[in-house]
Structure 1
Amino acid sequence: MSGPFRFKQFEINQDRCAMKIGTDGVLLGSWTDISNAESILDIGAGTGVVALMLAQRSSAEVVDAIEIDPEAYEQCVDNFEISPWGDRLYCYHAGLDEFIEEIEDLYDLIVCNPPFYTESVTSGDLQRDQARQNDFLPFEELLVGVSVLVSEHGIFSTIIPFKEKDDFIRMAASHQLFPSRCMHVKGNPAAEVKRVLLEFTKKEKTCEVLDLIIEIERHVYTMDYINLTKDFYLKM
């Protein structure tokens, strides 16, 4: 059994979660705008890493999360309880559709690091497939849920494959969600853009577009990436 993943102010146990901590979640937790977030919801929390990062960065009194997988849910709860912000963090064992039916409150900030392998390839491990594949939380269902749960002046922040960007933005617009910030992410200067961080609001505005390169070469990180993640990674 591997030990916990340690950040500067908290640690994550992930032995019961299908999807381990990766760059996508850390980017989302670091990049998301928390300036007006009094209440936060993390959809599909997994280990709880994004919610924990936002709890560290913000003074939000409510940091909720939902997770449908029972093993991941239990691990997320445990990670919340051992963190310095356990009194502000709460995880619901629910799918997005049932959560919407039960919750009447709206959130200032909603985040999601969604499953995005749209090809229905099965690994033989249902838990891992559920965490990875878009079939289990289609983008359409996600955007419907966000449009219901986000407050009038709230924001929605996510990270998806770059190839899905245009379709996702069109889909979001049909639910009155419009891009306000965008960051294209490349692994190194020679690589193609593989990921895009997107922020949406209910008000149409000019979208700010930025670029991020993670590494100059293997294990040599750019200053932009260091500055973005330095509050979390031990070696930054």
Structure 2
Amino acid sequence: MKVGTDGVLVGAWAGVRPSDRRILDVGTGTGVIALMLAQRAPAAEVTGVDVDDLSQARENAAASPWSDRIRFVQCPAQEFDPGTPFDLIVSNPPFFVDSLLCPDPVRAAARHAVLLPFGELCAAVERLLAPGGRFAVVLPATEAGRFADACRSRLSVSRRTDVRTTPGRAPKRVLLELMRPDEAPAATLQDELVVSTGRHEEYTPAYRALTRDFYLKF
């Protein structure tokens, strides 16, 4: 679970603006999303926060060209208080709410919303977000509605992309961008992304265009 399609998707899809100076990756893990955001936003300082050990994230950042702009803090998002809000917050959070827990406690914590319930994540984001800031998150299609409901009154969906693994299949993942309700546009911008053509190791032009800066094979 170190590098997966979900993290690459949200790291590439999140709406980075030239004016962004402070970016936060919630649940940073090995720091992959934080590294992607540092690559995409050359003027921004990027912070990764996680409850788990961050030695791999720090090692990865130290080996990158952006080590001077990335820092990591081992702390629950609910308790994190940097003193200055963030222009962009991104997360690939633990997402399954009512499904059967994995017997491995580490894997269960990474995949299930036990340590970071949806409501608490939304409350933390609202507290940490600067005026006009955006929050980008990737979720299973089955959980996206539940997440939006948990954020209601705190954050509104401004952009949504449904992600299909191959043409004709139901969306498997949903990418959401949220803003404070009084700052969000009146209508949600919606589209979809298909990852693969259905042939072995053959990706769609749209997926290649979105992620080509991060995959050596593209």
TM-score range, shorter chain: over 0.9
Is 1:40–1:60's contact at 8 Å kept on the other side of the alignment? no
| Unaligned stretches of 5+ residues in structure 1 | 1-18
CA RMSD after TM alignment: 1.3
Q: Please give the per-residue CA displacement for 1:88-125, whole angstroms capped at 9, x wherever unaligned.
A: 0000011112213xx21100000010011223534332
Partners in 2 of 1:52 and 1:226 — Cα distance?
19
* Alpha carbons of structure 1 residues 179 and 123: separation in structure 2 relative to 1, 3 Å: closer
Is 1:47–1:76's contact at 8 Å kept on the other side of the alignment? yes
1:80 maps onto 2:58 in alignment: no
Please, which moves more after superposition, 143-152 or 115-124? 115-124
Alignment of 1:59-74 (within 5 A): 59-70=42-53, 73-74=54-55
Q: Please give the per-residue CA displacement for 1:28-63, whole angstroms capped at 9, x wherever unaligned.
A: 011111113211000000110001001001123310
Alignment match, 1:31 = 13
TM-score by length of 1: 0.86
1:42 maps onto 2:25 in alignment: yes
Q: Which residue of the other structure, out of 147, 155, 177, is the alignment partner of 1:168?
A: 147
Alignment match, 2:206 = 224
* Alpha carbons of structure 1 residues 170 and 120: separation in structure 2 relative to 1, 3 Å: closer
| Unaligned stretches of 5+ residues in structure 2 | none
1:150 maps onto 2:132 in alignment: no
Partners in 1 of 2:39 and 2:84 — Cα distance?
22
Partners in 2 of 1:169 and 1:151 — Cα distance?
20
The amino acid that maps onto 1:227 is A
Partners in 1 of 2:86 and 2:209 — Cα distance?
28
Alignment match, 1:9 = none
The amino acid that maps onto 2:188 is C
TM-score by length of 2: 0.93
Partners in 1 of 2:184 and 2:87 — Cα distance?
17
Q: Please give the per-residue CA displacement for 1:140-167, whole angstroms capped at 9, x wherever unaligned.
A: 1100000000001110000011122223
Alignment match, 1:54 = 37
Q: Please give the per-residue CA displacement for 1:12-38, whole angstroms capped at 9, x wherever unaligned.
A: xxxxxxx22110000001111111321
Q: Percentage identity across aligned positions?
A: 40
Q: Please give the per-residue CA displacement for 1:74-96, whole angstroms capped at 9, x wherever unaligned.
A: 11111111111000000001111
Is 1:120–1:135's contact at 8 Å kept on the other side of the alignment? no
Alignment of 1:1-236 (within 5 A): 19-35=1-17, 36-70=19-53, 73-100=54-81, 103-119=82-98, 121-175=100-154, 177-202=155-180, 203-205=183-185, 206-217=187-198, 218-236=200-218
Partners in 1 of 2:172 and 2:104 — Cα distance?
25
The amino acid that maps onto 2:97 is T
How many residues get paired?
213
Partners in 1 of 2:79 and 2:144 — Cα distance?
27
